Amino acid sequence: MVLAPEISVVVPVFDEAGAAPGLAREIATAFAGRSFEILFVDDASRDDTRAALHALRAEIPQLRVLAHRRNSGQSRAIRSGILAARGPVIVTLDGDGQNDPADGPALVDALVAGGPELAMVGGERVKRQDSQAKKLASRFGNGIRRRLLRDTARDTGCGLKAFRREAFLRLPYFDHIHRYLPALMLREGYEVAFRPVHHRHRQTGQSKYTNLGRLMASLSDLLGVMWLQSRSRNPGGVDEL
Ligand SMILES: Nc1nc2c(ncn2[C@@H]2O[C@H](COP(=O)(O)OP(=O)(O)O)[C@@H](O)[C@H]2O)c(=O)[nH]1
Ligand SMILES: [Mg+2]
């Protein structure tokens, strides 16, 4: 019988053939000595991402590769990975190599040390390696979101996060939910925490998001999450007598 791993590292990829294999190796190195699996979720890439990852399975036994039949976006890819994951602790990171896998184990350790009330430890990118325009848009978006949702998060766009699978599965799903995990975890009555993480330049491939596209999606998402918050009631715990 194969024991379930303690940690499932979930990586969404779309047209990341240049970055994905190296990233998979870095993840395996970062988590060596721990009980882990790696799930890459290929979102119907048009390049060789899928074949490159499949070929790596001979080298990295912990690697699993899932494939969407149709492109469905980053959030759906993360969700597919989490549904298939066997570990109780999930680590997500971007598939383009901008997050440093070496930061992952510290997030997991902080999550476990926080006890069952702590559902998530999110990374916050220090010295972000992106264009000035993207950094400005991100600062603006994060500021508005934090004020409206009171989710205490300075950088929800950081793809590197550690959280409890069970807590994630309680959340409603919608496209782009990956930016609202702190707000939705708090809504469920959990605690969330954050830790600084490294950020790197994108070395290959192209960004999949534009500032305008992100802004348009954020408007309806913000309203939607505010509605969810306004319709939530919390009993403060449930006692069995
Ligand atoms: N599965 C999936 N992943 C995506 C999609 N768009 C972006 N990603 C992944 O999400 C992560 C962040 O996207 P990226 O384009 O680097 O955004 P940026 O860093 O904000 O410019 C990367 O791992 C991408 O591969 C998508 O449509 N599907
Ligand atoms: Mg990126």
Query: Using one digit for the tens of pLDDT, what is the confidence trace for 119-153?
Result: 999 999 999 999 999 999 999 999 999 999 999 99
Arithmetic mean of pLDDT, 5-13 = 98
Say if ligand 1 is within 6 A of residue 77 CB.
yes
CATH superfamily of 7-230: Spore Coat Polysaccharide Biosynthesis Protein SpsA; Chain A (3.90.550.10)
pLDDT in tens, 152-203: 999 999 999 999 999 999 999 999 999 999 999 999 999 999 999 999 999 9
Residue 227: half-sphere exposure toward Cβ, Cα within 13 Å? 7
| 28 CA to centre of own chain | 17
- C-alpha 139/C-alpha 41 separation (Å) is 28
- C-alpha 141/C-alpha 221 separation (Å) is 12
Say if ligand 1 is within 6 A of residue 204 CB.
no
Q: Are strands 161-164 and 89-92 parallel, antiparallel or unpaired?
A: antiparallel
Q: Name the residue of 82, 156, 175, 208 to mutate for ligand 1: max ligand atoms within 8 A of Cβ.
A: 208
Which has the closest alpha carbon to 61: 81, 35, 42?
A: 35
Burial letters 151-165, b for 16+ CB under 10 A, else e: bebbbbbbbbbbbbb
In the structure, ligand 2 is a single-atom ion and the residues with CB under 5 Å from it are 96, 98
